[in-house]
Amino acid sequence: MRATVELIANGRLADAGLVNICRSAGVSRGALYHHFPSIAELVAEVHAQAQGRVLALADDSFADGGADAPARFSVALGKALTDDQLVRAGLRLAPDGSDTPPRLREAMLDRVRAEVLTEAPERPDQKVLADLAVVVTAGLESLGYTDTAWWSRESTERIWDMLLPLFKEAG
C-alpha cells in the first residue's frame, strides 16, 4: 500500500505499475499478489482509505455549520494534502482504482457544494456561493500540485478572508 500511495501521490497512476510497486516496496510479484489479487484492487483500496480520511475532514469541518465551514474544510484539506500522501493519491482515483471520473476529487467537491447549499437553500444566491466554494476548493487543490504553498494555511486563509463576508452576508 505504502509504495503504491507514494508512486501515485508523487507522480501519476501510470507510475503505479506492477514493476514499480514491487521495486519500491521491495517485494516480489508473488508477495504483492498474495495480498491483492490485482493492481486495480490495490489502487481501489488506496481510494477507499483516502475516501475515509477525506470524509472525516468534511464531517469535522461542516459539523458545526456556519458560513466559515467551507474555509475550515479548505484549510483542513490543504494540511492533509501537504502531510498525507494517501489523501494526495486518493483524490486522483475512482472507486474502481482507475483515474477516470468520478474520482474522489469530484465526490469531495460535490460534498462541499451540498454543504454550502444546506446552509440557506431557499436563497437564490446560495447556489452561486456553493459554486464559489467549489471553485476555490478545487483551485487551491489543483494549484498545490505545482506549488505546495497553495495548500498552506496562510494562502488558504488569505483567500477565504476575502470571501467570507459574502458567505456571512448570505447566511
Q: CA–CA separation, 26 vs 36, rounded Å?
A: 16
Percent of the chain with pLDDT over 90: 92
Residue 28's CB is within 10 A of a number of other CB atoms, namely 10
Please classify residue 137 by burial: count the beta carbons closer than 10 Å to its beta carbon, then call 0-12 exposed, 13-18 middle and 19+ buried. buried
Q: Which residues contact 8 (CB under 8 A, 6 or more apart)?
A: 15, 16, 43, 46, 89, 92, 93
- Stretch 132-153: mean pLDDT, rounded? 97
At which residue does the C-alpha cell 475516501 appear?
51
pLDDT at 170 over 80: no
User: Is 80 exceeded by the pLDDT of residue 63?
Assistant: yes
Cell triple for residue 167? 458567505
Residue 160, all three cell numbers = 477565504
- Percent of the chain exceeding pLDDT 70 equals 99
Q: What is the model's pLDDT at position 140?
A: 98
In terms of residues, how long is the chain?
171
Identify each DSSP E strand in 13-167 by its residue range.
Answer: none
pLDDT tens-digit readout, 83-141: 999 999 999 999 999 999 999 999 999 999 999 999 877 888 899 999 999 999 999 99
Asked whether the predicted pLDDT for residue 171 surpasses 80, the reply is no
Mean pLDDT for the chain overall? 95
Peptide bond just before 102 cis, omega within 30 deg: yes
The pTM of the full predicted model, rounded to 2 decimals, is 0.93
Confidence of residue 164 (pLDDT cuts 50, 70, 90): very high
| Domains assigned to the chain | 49-170 (1.10.357)
**pLDDT, position 130:** 96
Three cell numbers, residue 130 = 456553493
User: What is the distance between the alpha carbons of residues 109 and 130, in angstroms, rounded to a whole number?
Assistant: 10
16-38 residue pLDDT tens:
999 999 999 999 999 999 999 99
